[in-house]
Amino acid sequence: MPHFDRFDICEAHAVLEWDYNLGGWLHERPSNQRRREATAIQLIRMQFKPRPDLSYETLTENGKEIYDELVMKYKLPKE
């Protein structure tokens, strides 16, 4: 089970949206539906700035676990 590191969570959510967005946002994420906005907008409000090389491969092991759990939670196809 992943631990809740804020940075890992933000990175995992950013990569997840990049990988699975439809029209610029991840429709399966409930807070995106409520706000009618992308995860990226919410991350900007938190002053999160993704590093240029950010991808699934560059996530920490914890970040990968968070990402994988989100894929299962939102019932997204495995890539």
Residues of the chain where predicted confidence (pLDDT) is lower than 70: 1-2, 79
Q: What is the pLDDT of residue 1?
A: 65
User: What would the DSSP string read from start to end of 15-39?
Assistant: HHHHHH-BTTB-TTSHHHHHHTS-H
Q: What pLDDT was estimated at residue 55?
A: 98
Domain ranges of the chain: 6-73
Distance CA 34, CA 54 (A): 27
Question: Could you tell me the pTM of the whole model?
Answer: 0.88
- State the pLDDT at residue 68: 97
